[in-house]
Amino acid sequence: MIQTSRTTIRCLAPWEIDLCIPCGHAFYREMGLIGAFVPAVFVQTWQTLFRTIPSDILSLWHDETLIGAFGVTLLPDLMDGRLTATEMFWYIDPAHRKGTGALRLLRAFEDWADEHHAVECRLTHLLTAGEQTGDPTEVALARVYRRLGYAPTEVSWHKALPLTVRVQQIDAALTANDYLMTCQRAEGSTYQTVAYGGHQFPGMAMTPIGPLELVARTHGVTGVPVLSYFRDGTVHDVHETYIHYDQGLGSMAMILYLSDNVTEGTAFWTHRATGTMDVSACTPSVRDQLEQDQHDESKWELREFIPMVANRAILFPTTWLHSRYPSSTSMTHRRIQVGFFT
């Protein structure tokens, strides 16, 4: 542990990893990164790293407040086996960036590397929007790195792939007995119209998450279930197109189809004007535009359609833009179970 009069640096314990979640959300908002920050995935990943390889999260504290974090791992170089300490993430609260906290974390990283007998330290720098058009080896932080003895060795490039490669689709999600039990619960439920977010949602019935939680756990969800309900759409319902995200209800969403009709299902969309299919990094003005256009399908590009097959489940971050599809149903009963997880 490194300590000054009011500042402390120490390694987080495995049960403290979730203290970094606010930093993760803030980092994604600030950098406008592709994808979403999913707390459950972050915590699970670092718990796995702690168990399997030399790794730590160096935390920076001002009195009792966490103001920065620096994730580190130690692995042999893929080519020659040299032990290499690598920065996995580095975040300092904006209110404390004018001090020496960031440099202290960097020095703590180098001390950690030395204690673990590393022969090389590697840092990364994610480019801001304003830095992406120039020479990435000449940004302001790169000049700081050079003064500290670091040299640029690689530039990485990324490309967002179509959403089709990322939706988790799980067929035969429940056992036969669990699926029958879930259908019976849905059949016996009392459905009503629920008002939420300025919209009316007919055919809603709250229900315990039930065996759907085990399916989520099996497919990597570590968060706690926070909401579960049945939806029962009928041919008599009038539904408008409603392309939306569910970020306020958790970090991961799961839909279990309790009906069979491959002409209907769930659609995932990209907003034509802004290119948005994931709202995790959207500015307030972009979110306002998405909401203005959410009832007009001509403003959107259909990126993925998951047909409704009985006992099929789909799992996706709540920041993804999606809708039922088509907006109306030809079925006497179009039933699904929906679950949300922290």
Does residue 276 surpass a pLDDT of 80?
Answer: yes
Alpha-carbon distance 200 to 34, whole Å? 32
pLDDT of 37-53, one tens digit each? 778 778 888 999 999 99
Alpha-carbon distance 210 to 311, whole Å? 14
Q: What is the DSSP letter of 11?
A: E
Of the candidates 162, 342, 183, 164, which has an alpha carbon nearest to the alpha carbon of residue 266? Answer: 164
Q: What is the pTM of this model?
A: 0.55
pLDDT at residue 165 in the model: 47
Beta carbons of 205 and 192 less than 8 angstroms apart:
yes
| Domains with residue ranges and CATH for the chain | 2-124 (3.40.630.30), 163-341 (2.60.120.620)
Does residue 84 surpass a pLDDT of 70?
Answer: yes
Polymer length of the chain: 342
294 contacts: CB under 8 Å, gap ≥ 6: 241, 242, 243, 244
What is the phi/psi pair of residue 291, to 5°? Answer: -70, -35
Strand, coil or helix: 298 = helix
User: Token pair for residue 171?
Assistant: 């067929």
- Please report the DSSP string for 59-95 in residue order: EEEETTEEEEEEEEEEEE-TTT--EEEEEEEEEE-GG
Alpha-carbon distance 76 to 68, whole Å? 27
Place of tokens 């034509």: 272
Q: What is the DSSP letter of 164?
A: G
pLDDT of 116-174, one tens digit each? 999 999 998 777 656 666 666 666 778 888 889 998 888 777 765 554 446 899 999 99
Among 72-86, 149-163, 219-233, where is mean pLDDT lowest? 149-163
